[in-house]
Amino acid sequence: MTGEKIKDSLTLDDARRVIDAAMARAVEIGQPQDIAVVDAGGNLKAHVRMDTALIGSIHISINKAYTAVAFQCQTKDLTDITRPDGDLYGLSDAHGGRLVVFPGGIPLVRDGHIVGAIGVSTGSIEQDQTVAEAGAAAF
């Protein structure tokens, strides 16, 4: 060991700021959410399950964030191309079912580089997207 330390792509403070902004939007629209933030490697940095948010959405929120990092785009941008007539039909079955191809996952960008992502799940896809957008905007 050289004594040197790894610099995180995004800090816990970054993740908390993103989650706090997303939670504020979720409260505003009256829809509790599962909200996840992952780092540039798609590893979970922080997660919050708001009171009454679905436990089934915990992994979906994490996987939306992972997908946004893995494919370097918003998950909503994968919806049409993964439909049965799309060029990437079947993509959602790749990575052991970890990919999520509907709205709610957004990369977090700093200085032109993706350093993480937010994923939101429990509400409708429109609610998930608007809450994710609020979180991403706080980054």
pLDDT digits (tens, 9 = 90+) for 1-45: 566 776 778 999 999 999 999 999 999 999 999 999 999 999 999
Residue 103 has pLDDT above 80, yes or no: yes
Give the C-alpha separation, 113 to 121, whole Å.
25
Q: 91, 99 in Cβ contact below 8 A?
A: yes
All domains in the chain, ordered by first residue: 12-137 (3.30.450.150)
Q: How many CB atoms sit inside 10 A of residue 19's CB? A: 23
Q: What are phi and psi of 43, to 5 degrees?
A: -90, 140
- What pLDDT is attached to residue 28? 98
| Crossing angle of helices 125-137 and 12-29, rounded to 10° | 140
